[in-house]
Amino acid sequence: MTDILIAIFSTIGALAILFASIGILR
Per-residue pLDDT reduced to its tens digit, 1-26: 799 999 999 999 999 999 999 999 88
Closest to 6 measured CA to CA, from 19, 14, 16: 14
Exposure letters 1-19 (e unless 16+ CB within 10 A, then b):
eeeeeeeeeeeeeeeeeee
Alpha-carbon distance values, 21 to 2, 10, 12, 16, 18 (Å): 28, 16, 14, 9, 5
Euclidean distance between CA atoms 24 and 2, whole angstroms: 33
The predicted pLDDT at position 25 comes to 86
The predicted pLDDT at position 1 comes to 79
